[in-house]
Amino acid sequence: MKVLKFGGKSLSNGEGINKVISIIENKVNQGEEIAVVVSARGNATDELEEILEIAAKNGDYKTPFESFKKVQNGEYQEIDLSVEFEVLDKLFEGVSLIGDYSNKIKDQILSQGELLSAKLLTSILTKKGINAHFTDSRVLIKTDSKFGDAQPLEQVSKKNVINYFKQNCDTVNIITGFIGSNNNNDTTTLGRNGSNYTASLIANYLDAEELQNYTHVDGIYTANPDLVPDAKKIDRLSFNEANEIANFGATILHAKTIIPLLEKNIPLRILNTFNHENQGTLITSKSNKEGIKTLSVLENVSLVNLEGRGLLGKTGVDARIFRVMGDNDISVSIISQGSSERGIGLVVNADKATKAMIELEKEFENDFYSKDVNKISITDDVSVISIIGQDLSTFHKPYTALIKNKVVPILFNNTVTGKNVSLVVKKAQLHKALNVIHGEIFGVSKKINIAIFGHGLVGGTLINQILESAAAIEKRKDIRLNVFAIANSKNLLLNKNGVSPNWKNEIQTNGFSYTIDDVIAFANENHLENLIAIDNTASATFVENYIPLAEGSFDLISSNKVANTLSYKFYKDLRKVLAENQKNYLYETNVGAGLPLIDTIKLLHLSGENITKIKGVFSGTLSYLFNNFSAKDVPFSEILKEAIDNGYTEPDPREDLCGNDVGRKLLILARELDLQNEFEEISIQNLIPEHLREGNVSDFLHKLKEFDPIYDKIKAAQEPNHVLRYIGELSGDLQNDKGNLEVKLVSVPSDTALGGLKGSDSFFEIYTESYGDRPIVIQGAGAGSAVTARGVFGDLLRLSDKG
């Protein structure tokens, strides 16, 4: 025989009840021997409790009661449920008159939900020609008299069930879950989720082949799918694992359900009424493999803290705490202790926390006077996450991921077996914490949530590169890149599930004005984890947002050079905030676009290598100008105009020609060596004749020929076989606080590496103590939106891989 148990949502009006009837019909037609245990339909138990409270306050209970009756009959108005409704009517009337009720009365009222459910289902099945029999479990399950949470009396209950099924063996027995009766035949209930317990007991007493628990989900998941969209269904679990899940908040299981099944080794299968072709989750004595199984959550709990240095080494403290909890019927979910400063944390149901604190204060009253106990306090609004199957040897991975996402557990402990770890976190951080842990420990893609600021040439190219490559990267690296925000100087586009390839139109139509706080708030409200902000602007004001972004749990990536070239104080303050918040800041494209220059210098410096000099061509635009001017017998203005027409320069070419951009890049490299130079200390040779440095762009573009006599003279004054190069050079004693930074036009032999530069390549020489006069040379495309965007993308992937 198989025992089928259907939950409240499965039995609700419409699709639910119809699916249940179909499942039972199919099993009967296939010749399966089954018994059916039912919960109250829909939200009947909660609704009856609400009506009871209204009646106790002498309120209008009749209106909600009439609604309740209509819902319970649903589409089957012809089925007579008047007996149960009359019982309820009399009980509510009595409660209303007295203005109060006992747990005994409450059990009588709540039991009617299951009675109505079983009676309705039996009638429907009978009309369909199925030999169904209404079974009131109060005649089967005998309990003690603890109303509201009664315990079954095993021997008499087992005898009743076996005898009953012998007499009713040729029928489908539709049994009420949740309810029983004491020896006086007073109605009792088995506690919330007790219908599962009823089904488990029936299965045990009948030595059932399997208990099939039909719910509204496909089985047990690696986490609650409502909280973790990436949660995966678990095919198999052991009873021990299921018991841990039940103890730590999985509503699909009742902790007491497991034991009767374990005694007889009866498999439990969790199935979906609405998708009954799915095989669900099978729970047996054996699991299919070791390892982490699922994340369970306990909500509606509080943390009671007992603190006191004087308790260290004092015997009997734990016993006193547990005696107080036991005497006051307060269940402790988790206990954790600290030894250096004696502190004990207890997780209890939120509605029992105040009682626990008051009773503990009474128990430890003398210890307050002797200063052995400092304080007893309550931390509300907390939740417990239990990682079922987590070994402490690998716990550092999810723990580090939490800290990186600014979720700091208040308390954690592990079981004696060392295979389950529980964390207490702030309730507001539960959603994010679950997703971070789940992404870290299960074989699902790690989700990286990205906000991109600036969508011009570099930013726009980067966005398209990410969207085009996302699927391949997820497949190859198990990293899911999710661009949830795109912003320009005026408008912001937000989508927690990621922007579409049509983002350019969407930011125009759906974008709105914003501050950086809007982006941070959106990420928090949607519990987005693994946050990265990318600055592709050239804005001097946007860098003011770096510190609030880091404090808001964002790692930073920037192609914008400004943040690294402002005052040395800002440079150090930013890095202090990054360190305090355990955030990273990558900016490989600040110098050399996509070339691995900054990384190389960082590695050399960190390894203790003494860098003695850095020099090179830092500007792709100026590389193009002087490479071509040196190689061709044409005026300088003609090469400059060619560069302008091809879009190699800034809209105002003077921004390239003044040398400040090269100066900023040189300063960034100097600061990587811990030099404290300021921008004002750089010696920069401005390539623009003094009389052309002011005025509007249009006037300047009409006067380009005025460059020619100056640069013809410089070119002609060179030694034979020499060429012009505009370089940045960092020299001096680089072990001091400051170095010598120069940006200048130089003449070099054409047969050297620097002299042989072609096109618009960037070129860098890094001289070190170990390599002497043989520098490390890095050369390649050092400019262009596609190259720079690809460099930023490289930083993004490097950051995504961390941790």
The catalytic residue positions are 665
Whether residue 529 contacts residue 791, with contact meaning beta carbons closer than 8 Å, is answered with: no
Compute the half-sphere exposure of residue 362: CA atoms within 13 Å on the CB side of its CA.
10
Beta strand residue intervals within 571-687, DSSP E: 585-586, 611-617, 683-684
496 Cβ contact list (under 8 Å, min separation 6): 484, 522, 526, 528
Please tell me the distance from the alpha carbon of residue 11 to that of residue 16, in angstroms, as a whole number.
5
Residue 215 CB burial class (10 angstroms; 0-12, 13-18, ≥19)? buried
Burial 20-37 (b: 16+ CB within 10 A, else e): beebbeebbeeeeebbbb
**Under 8 Å between Cβ of 214 and 23:** yes
Taking residue 712's Cβ as centre, other Cβ atoms within 10 Å add up to 13
| Residue of 252, 127, 136 lying closest to 193 (CA atoms) | 252
Q: Rounded to 5 degrees, what are φ and ψ at 778?
A: -125, 125
What are the counts of helices (DSSP H) followed by strands (DSSP E) for the chain? 27, 28
Question: Which two three-digit tokens encode residue 331?
Answer: 């269940």
Strand 531-535 and strand 446-453: the pairing is: parallel
Q: Where are the beta strands (DSSP E) in 599-679?
A: 611-617
Q: Compute the distance between CA of residue 767 and CA of residue 614 in angstroms, rounded to an integer.
A: 6
Separation between Cα atoms, residue 100 and residue 624, nearest integer Å: 90
Task: Evaluate whether 722 touches 749 at the Cβ level (below 8 Å).
Answer: yes
Tokens encoding 59: 């309120």
**Structural contact between residues 211 and 264, judged by C-beta atoms closer than 8 angstroms:** no
For 640, the token pair is 């400059």
- By the 10 Å C-beta count (0-12 exposed, 13-18 middle, 19+ buried), 372 is classed as middle
3-state secondary structure of 179: strand
Query: How far, in Å, CA of 203 to CA of 3, rounded?
Result: 6
**Residue 180 and residue 152 in contact, taking contact as beta carbons nearer than 8 Å:** yes
Give the torsion sign (CA, 124, 127, 129, 130): positive
Which of 369, 370, 420, 412 is closest to 394 using CA atoms?
A: 420
CB proximity list for 150: less than 8 A, separation 6 or greater: 143, 144, 180, 182, 188, 189, 190, 191
List the structure tokens of 320. 């006193």
Listed residue (202, 209, 112, 115) closest to 160, CA to CA: 202
What is the spatial distance between Cα 142 and Cα 183, in angstroms, rounded to a whole number? 7
DSSP code of residue 142: B
